[in-house]
Amino acid sequence: MSPHILGFGCAHPPLRMDTTRWLALATAIAPPRVDRALLQRLADRSGIAQRWCAAATDNHPAGFYATDGLSSHTGPSVGTAARMHLWAEAVRPMALAACRDAISSSEVDAQSVTHLVTASCTGFCAPGMDQWLIRDLGLSPSVRRTNIGFMGCHAAINAVATARDIARADSSARVLVCCGEVCSAHLHYGERVDQWIANTLFGDGAAAVVIAASAGHARSSTHAPATIIDTHSLIIEGSEDAMTWEIGDCGFAMGLSAEVPALIERALPSWVDAQLAAHGLARTSVAGWAIHPGGPRVIDSVVHALGLSAAAGDASRSVLRDFGNMSSATLLFILERLSRVGTTGPVVALAFGPGLSAEMLVISVSSQSQTG
């Protein structure tokens, strides 16, 4: 039995941030010794035209980070507790909107949801996103809950894999998956270039899917149902320090090596080929690629390593351009975009996270004419 993704939902905070506004925020929070020309170069190379940002406000360039300690550059003054409060305030309405859209596009009854899988690597509290969604969506209080925390940008695949296993074990299960990330709660204002690269790349968003054992659970769909073929995992040898994500006193801190694209490029081809071959597939038989946009170089490295056409990265580049890197939510945004434009056949999603680890999701998207 191969479970199906029945529908998608995507959401973001209300405040849009274009490049000019991002540079104003970055300039306001960067210490004096950070070269402002560097901030401009990073923005120019990011591939991002806009993002939605919960930390931005209309009344100060630094937004959430406008504190006396920052304006005088005497040192970090926005602690982790305040950042977690921002996460909680921003993620709840985003997650609710994404889940409502996923349930609507799947055309299942919210009361029929039996399991809820949530994922976030940018915030924690209890009661948290799982219990908020049960209350706000009017789900049954007996819904089974699983939270996937702190796994990083590939957590959507881990969440989908968990939902798939639930649907395989229980043919009556309807699983709601939601990834909610407030990356702007963790902007850093030190001098490390890798942290300014991370600051430049990330945005905020939430995405959700409904997964069930059979596409027959959906009466109809604005998105063609997708069969989940399999998921695969890889920890790349010798890469433990290439990407890190740690909880500090002033937010969560990312460590990012310039070697990440090269490590991905070396590890990917043989691994991808072996997993595809296990399902009777090859790179040439894949109709669509959802490559997590850790940055433009990551997309380019994957496309180059797998010998794909430049167009294979278009969906990923367009989501990066329009939303930035929203950590775990991003991959579902890309899959939603591929589904919405009518991609049919095998689709491969690839994402990378701390470790350095890689996750792969293989689905097969039906044509709308085959559903109903």
Q: CA 220, CA 215: separation in Å to the nearest integer?
A: 9
* Of 10, 99, 153, 179, catalytic: 153
- Given the DSSP bridges, would you call strands 345-353 and 288-291 parallel, antiparallel or unpaired? parallel
Q: Which of 83, 86, 62, 68 is CA-nearest to residue 253?
A: 83
With H, G, I as helix, E, B as strand and everything else as coil, classify residue 353. Answer: strand
Q: CA 133, CA 51: separation in Å to the nearest integer?
A: 24
Written as one letter, the residue type at 4 is H
| 170 alpha-carbon distance from chain centroid | 27
- The beta strand positions in the chain, using DSSP E, are 4-11, 16-18, 50-52, 115-120, 144-149, 174-182, 204-212, 226-235, 243-248, 251-256, 288-291, 345-353, 357-365
Whole-Å CA distances, 144 to 131, 294, 301: 11, 32, 39
Q: Are 78 and 190 in contact (CB under 8 A)?
A: no
Q: Which of 99, 1, 3 is CA-nearest to residue 363?
A: 3
Q: CA 114, CA 213: separation in Å to the nearest integer?
A: 12
Q: CA 29, CA 242: separation in Å to the nearest integer?
A: 26
Written as one letter, the residue type at 298 is V
Q: CA 49, CA 22: separation in Å to the nearest integer?
A: 10
Residue 53 bears catalytic tag: no
Catalytic amino acids? 153
